[in-house]
Chains A and B, each alone.
Chain A
Amino acid sequence: GAVVSQHPSRVICKSGTSVKIECRSLDFQATTMFWYRQFPKQSLMLMATSNEGSKATYEQGVEKDKFLINHASLTLSTLTVTSAHPEDSSFYICSARESGGAGDTQYFGPGTRLTVL
């Protein structure tokens, strides 16, 4: 099956620093990738939709200047949390939709646990 990787899997940083999370589709091309955020014991909340070669579409309430998304190629999207603060601590999960794939199936990465001290 299609595989999506995320790097790093876990990161701890000081308040005020920026953190970059990579999401890669390993064996397929993904025109569209999605970034979700998950708080403990809660569901996934969509943050933004990332389209290759164009600007990301952010959900209401998500600060685009704080959560920078770059989808530079058909296999890579990055999420940069700028000037991170403790309230940004969360589990970030990306997913990729296979280009031309049937059924709109999304394949999820293993997630990145961000802890901001």
Chain B
Amino acid sequence: AQSVTQLGSHVSVSEGALVLLRCNYSSSVPPYLFWYVQYPNQGLQLLLKYTSAATLVKGINGFEAEFKKSETSFHLTKPSAHMSDAAEYFCAVSARPQAGTALIFGKGTTLSVSS
């Protein structure tokens, strides 16, 4: 069985500060890992994904995440927060190489950015 735990339901940072959103996963098979962002009343937008290539994954909007197998973590970071980064962020895992497997989502982390 797979699961995802996002530590911290709410993270607040100042504009320009480092953003760190934590995600730990549990999987009995090598996982695919994803970070999605959701703005109010909208669907999910893919930020980045890990699919067994480089362990440091770069995504859109300056975000990146590092897959650490030893720590079963896939934390999301951004060096400098922008006001437009305020949103809900979801970490997700799926089993591979099983095709068509649905994503298992974490409970989400709300990121607030203050000026």
- B96 and A111 contact, CB distance less than 8 A: no
Flag A11-37 by CB within 8 Å of B: 1 or 0 each: 000000000000000000001101000
- B49 and A113 contact, CB distance less than 8 A: no
Chain A contact residue count (CB 8 A cutoff):
26
Interfacial residues of chain B within 44-99, with CB under 8 A of chain A in the complex: 44-46, 49, 51, 90, 94, 96, 99
The CA-CA distance from A26 to B102 in the complex, in Å, is: 20
**B100: A residues at CB distance < 8 A:** 31-32, 49, 51, 97
Flag B20-36 by CB within 8 Å of A: 1 or 0 each: 00000000000010101
Chain B contact residue count (CB 8 A cutoff):
24
- B32 and A103 contact, CB distance less than 8 A: yes
The CA-CA distance from A110 to B105 in the complex, in Å, is: 17
**B108: A residues at CB distance < 8 A:** 42-43
- A109 and B43 contact, CB distance less than 8 A: yes
Give the interface SS of chain B, mostly helix, strand, loop or mixed.
loop
Min CB gap A42→B, angstroms: 7
The CA-CA distance from A79 to B64 in the complex, in Å, is: 35
**A93: B residues at CB distance < 8 A:** 43-44
* Given A95-B103, A97-B100, A106-B103; 13 other pairs, CB 8 A cutoff: A32-B99, A32-B100, A43-B90, A43-B105, A44-B90, A44-B105, A91-B41, A95-B44, A102-B51, A108-B45, A110-B42, A111-B42, A111-B43
8 A–B pairs (Cβ distance < 8 Å), ordered by A: A43-B108, A46-B102, A91-B41, A95-B44, A104-B94, A104-B96, A106-B103, A111-B42
